[in-house]
Chain A
Amino acid sequence: MPTIGINISDLNRLLDENYSLNDLRKSFRSLGIEVEGETEEGDIKLEVLHNRPDLLSVEGIARVLKGHFGMEKGTPDYELKEPKINCKVDPSLEGSRPVIVMGQIENADYDDVSLEVLMNLQEKLHDTLGRDREKISIGAYDLADVEPPIRYTTILPEDEGFTPLEFNERMTPQEILEKHPKGQKYAHLIESCDRYPLLEDSEGKVLSMPPIINSESTRLTQSASNIGVDVTGTNRKVAERALEIIMASAAERGFDVRQVKIEGLNSDFLTPRFKDSEWSFDIDDANNKLGISVEANDACRIMEEMRYDVVKQKEDKIKVRAPFYRFDLLHEVDLFEDLAVGYGYDSLEPELPSIEITGRPHEVEEISNIARSALEGLGFMEAMPYVLTSPERNFELMNIDECEAVGIENPVSKEYSILRTWLMPGLMKVLRENKLHELPQKVFEVGDVVKLNDEVETGAENIKRASAVAVGEDFNYTYIRAVLESLMRELDMDWEIETFEHPSFLEGRTAKVMIDGERRGFLGEVHPEVITNFELEHPVVAFEFSLVE
């Protein structure tokens, strides 16, 4: 879940109140906002739900609290003004990052705290909706010296360029990608293009080179009262959502918000839109879903506290308007959850229904547990190695040439780059890790391995296997055979033993385990090469077989 930092006095300024964190804890929890921590300076760390990007700044938090405390009801009263500025998209952007949406904030009065909130909100949106700027990138500028219309165009890497933020000299786009920290970090997003995206005014003054860096000449400071916000990228829907959230935050602070007219590649349109959505539902459906019996009137009151407008209520039918920034609403169940949140999870009495079904263990797990009990009784200790392993351990160290296994395309490390096809290598690793401990040692595992199989739906299948290994001077084939014999007896399995060769075992001291005429596994004295591969110095005996077909 995303976390945000808010300043308690900034929150109180928005609420026009004087709350301490403790006054708010219960409210936060009931709204699904978790308090992660707090500093002495009054900064609070909050965790908000994934599906609520509108809560990624203090303004969004203030907005839900206002409804919760009854300070405001229904959707927020933001006035969206008609556009004064146009932004024209140049056809050269086609194929790279052609999307742009813009908004204008007027009569802004940011101080150092609130300006930082705006910056942090941009970053949070970059990280979440924007997938680290891949989908969208956000910029904000002081429009004081900007001559509209604004042009969203492209620039050649070796063009004259501009002075980027945090630098005091003009650099070419190429140089910015190579030398500027942001350039280095985000170069991969555009460097394959012939021309890089550029935002400039009608006189050629550069605002920014999205998604990399803004220009120093339009740097946003506290003194700016006329601010432009743009969101560029590849996905218009996501870009609009990010813009709506930022503009709603500015509006929540009481600043004027104004649309910008975008002259796009295909059509002209206005952003942001602040377009609320309408929903109708039957209170009975909500009550049935939640297991409560709220009267329609009370439901209306709760929905207003949750910042919905009640458009119409006729008997049990309720029609509401949801605020434009609630992008998480897909279905009426999402409104039912809001009703439950407003009603209070603490007020919902848990009720266990009675459903007449008998619990039943899975057959394979039952067999596994019998095998575990038997091996425990034989003095073996259960180990739990990972299913993820390396080709080296699964094959090479075991003296095996082949390497047919489920392979990870994006492993974090080679150590965990395939799925094990058998259990023994993991147990050998356990012995290696315990080589300094007292001998003899006896360990086992009953667990899943995964084998490639074209016949099955996903191309690979789990196979439950049992394996045991023992290291010590006195262990030999007779011993491990006796152990296996005993285990098979407990499992009530009919099995046969036949001579066999296996590269991990000594020739003439290994055999295969046959069940229903099919080879299920093997046992024997481990090959000295394998023993030394695992840095061991004493005889090792082992068996392994599949518990089920």
Chain B
Amino acid sequence: MTLEKEARNLINQEKIVLTSLAESNGAAEVSKICEGTDLSQSAVMRSALNLEENGFLEIDEIVQDFASITEEGDSYRRGSLPERKVLDAILKGDGLNFGDISEKAGVSEDKTGLTIGWLKKKNWAEIEEREEGKVLTATEEGRKAAGRKGKDEELLDEFEKEDELSLESLSDDLQEQVSVLKDRGLLKVKERKGHRLSLTEKGEKVQNYDLELRKTVSRLDGDLIKSGEWREVDLREYNVTASTEPIFPGKRHPQRRIIEELRSILLRMGFEEIRGPMVESEFWNFDALFQAQNHPAREIHDTLSLSKPSEAKIPDLELLERVKEAHEDGVVGSKGWDYHFDKDISRRPILRSQTTADSVRYLAQRPEPPVKVFSIDKVFRRERIDYQHLAEFPQAEGIVMAEDLNFRNMLGYLKEILHEMGVSKIRFRPGYFPYTEPSAEADGYLPERDEWIELLGAGMFRPELLEPLGIDCPVLAWGIGFSRIAMIRMGIEDMRNLHNNDLEWLKNEPLG
């Protein structure tokens, strides 16, 4: 960097120190620089250290004497020295009687002796023997001194602004007075350490460049930018490593993020998203799924039944008849469940207990292949909410209908879904669902837990389910154990935390 550029990069305080040193013939004590400028001692030192680092000056440690004013000295500074008071009193009349000193000059009696001593020493007065007694009269010297401050008095005045002065900062003639006033008990002198700065050769040279001061600002604002004034000012430097108050973005709930992840996987795999009502009839939730009306899952301790609304409509009564027949006597070679099917039960509204209800509703409306749909929707169970049970939770499930689909194709979907979810090691085993046959469970191996976890259940819809819907082509159905996957992803053990709405937790749970 050229010296010119270095000069430009100097901040104002550094420029002041350099200029001030140059004015003091290249060297000065820090305290001296403080006097000549408006900088505090620490500001000068901070600049000096930077300047030293960049080779502009050297810092030497020195020992300095400092004078400070005593209480008595300060009272004389504010008023005047006693000998000055007496002199004034002498000049006011024609001499001053000894007996009147205290009263007319305002000097306390115990000081009169000393004061007379100083008047004589300074040769301001002499003593005349008159008939009324001893009288002080002014000398020639005394008359000259009237109205003109002595050096000692000038020194006292120096303390008007400072409590403490370095002796070196005083002019030589004032310095001489320090010991006099010290002896009179008006000043005290102490030794203190200080610093002396002296310009290096580089520091001398830099004086040849522009050391004009620039404006310092803390905030860069629009006016500075628009006017271009930013070029002329110094922007205050920040402590960029200092810590700040934490702030947080608005975020999606961790459970939502897992739902979204799953949704995007399924959309990517070519599934269409469907939704269904949370208040569902037993018809769609169970009957149409060939789940017998006396199936344990339909009992009052498992399913939430409703007091309001009291009845659901069945949109297709012929379908209801066909479903009834499938249950009672069986269709397409099935034995059926061999019991009395009650249509009133079909009309009972409940809270949807399985999202398969959404799928079968869809099939009833769209019985033509191909179909690939999924839903991630809420289901309800009659559970007391605790560590491992929730009364409502999302279920993710889907179906595929196409000609010539087989059980291995279904395993193919399970493998693909798990693969997309990042589970590569999987195995299958027999499973049971009331509306599928054959059925399978898929376990995924989680290396971080060294465990096989049941993640998916699936099967091919039973013919007794499909026949009443007028479907004679295979339908694969799968369901994801959403809560389990979400808990693993979120790293939680307590199922209730799937719905944790603690803001501190939500803020601090990272998106990544």
Contact = CB atoms under 8 A, between A and B. Distances in A.
B255 A353 contact: no
A12 interface: no
A352 B414 CA distance: 9
Nearest to A453: B309
B250 interface: yes
Given A330-B336, A359-B272, A410-B305, A460 B279 contact: yes
Contacts, number: 272
Contacts of B507: 381
12 contacts: A31-B430, A348-B408, A362-B274, A382-B251, A382-B252, A382-B253, A411-B304, A433-B501, A443-B503, A450-B277, A458-B312, A460-B349
B186 interface: no
Interface of B: 248-253, 255-256, 260, 263, 266-275, 277-281, 296, 299-300, 304-313, 315, 330, 332-338, 349, 351, 370-372, 378, 380, 382-385, 391-392, 400, 402, 404-409, 411-416, 427-432, 434, 437-440, 460, 462-464, 474, 498-499, 501-504, 506-507
Given A49-B431, A406-B279, A434-B502, 11 more contacts: A330-B330, A348-B411, A361-B263, A364-B275, A376-B249, A381-B507, A384-B253, A411-B304, A452-B309, A458-B312, A459-B310
Interface in A77-108: none
A459 B304 contact: no
A376 B511 CA distance: 13
Contacts of A457: 277, 281, 312-313, 315
Interface stretch (A3-11, A333-341, A506-514): A333-341
A474 B304 CA distance: 43
A403 to B, nearest CB: 10
B466 to A, nearest CB: 11
Contact of A345 (B260, B429, B437, B463): B429
A340 B263 contact: no
Contacts of A289: 406-407, 438, 460, 474
A356 B382 CA distance: 40
Contacts of B281: 457-458
For the complex of A and B, the 5 pairs showing the least CB-CB separation, nearest first, are: A459-B309, A32-B430, A291-B406, A291-B408, A337-B438
A442 B404 CA distance: 53
Contact of A291 (B407, B428, B432): B407
A523 B443 CA distance: 48
B391 A386 contact: yes
B411 A350 contact: yes
Contact of A384 (B268, B312, B462, B499): B499
B409 A351 contact: yes
Nearest to A348: B408
A378 B250 CA distance: 7
Contacts of B349: 458-460
B253 A365 contact: no
B382 A410 contact: yes
Contact of B372 (A357, A437, A458): A357
B350 to A, nearest CB: 9
B402 A408 contact: no
A382 to B, nearest CB: 4
Contacts of B391: 386, 388, 412, 416
Contacts of A364: 275
A110 interface: no
Nearest to A416: B391
A348 B409 CA distance: 10
Given A355-B370, A460-B309, A345 B440 contact: yes
Contacts of A454: 309
Contacts of A331: 330, 332-335, 437, 462-464
Nearest to B265: A359
A433 B250 CA distance: 18
A346 B430 CA distance: 10
Contacts of B406: 288-291
B275 A462 contact: yes
A113 B300 CA distance: 36
B127 to A, nearest CB: 82
A227 B502 CA distance: 62
Given A331-B333, A407-B307, A387 B253 contact: no
A331 to B, nearest CB: 4
A131 interface: yes
A546 B57 CA distance: 74
A436 to B, nearest CB: 10
Interface string A380-424: 111111111000000000000000011111111100100100000
A362 B275 contact: yes
Nearest to B301: A410
A236 B280 CA distance: 32
B335 A341 contact: no
B312 A334 contact: no
Contacts of A329: 335
Contacts of B464: 330-331
Given A336-B438, A364-B275, A452 B308 contact: yes
Contacts of B313: 457-459
A349 B409 CA distance: 9
Contact of A412 (B267, B384, B416, B474): B384
A49 B432 contact: yes
B385 to A, nearest CB: 8
A358 interface: yes
Contacts of A346: 427-428
B272 A357 contact: yes
A109 interface: no
B154 to A, nearest CB: 61
A373 to B, nearest CB: 9
B414 A350 contact: yes
A278 interface: no
A458 B311 CA distance: 7
A70 B279 CA distance: 51
A381 B308 contact: no
B346 to A, nearest CB: 12
Interface in A282-304: 288-292
Contacts of B304: 408-411
Given A290-B407, A357-B272, A381-B503, A333 B437 contact: yes
B502 A433 contact: yes
A32 B349 CA distance: 34
Contacts of A51: 432, 434
Given A359-B270, A407-B306, A452-B309, A385 B407 contact: no
A341 B430 CA distance: 7
Contacts of A330: 330, 334-337, 464
Interface string A419-433: 100000000001001
A292 B406 CA distance: 9
Contacts of B438: 289-290, 333, 336-337, 340
Contacts of B437: 331, 333-334, 336-337
Interface string A31-59: 11010000000000000011110000000
A365 B273 contact: yes
Contact of B499 (A292, A385, A410): A385
A410 B300 contact: yes
A351 B308 contact: no
A441 interface: yes
Contact of A49 (B255, B409, B430): B430
A292 B338 CA distance: 32
A43 B266 CA distance: 43
Nearest to A129: B296
Contacts of B269: 359
A448 interface: yes
B499 A355 contact: no
A349 B499 contact: no
Contacts of B263: 361, 365
B428 A380 contact: no
A468 B384 CA distance: 29
B462 to A, nearest CB: 6
A3 to B, nearest CB: 14
A372 interface: yes
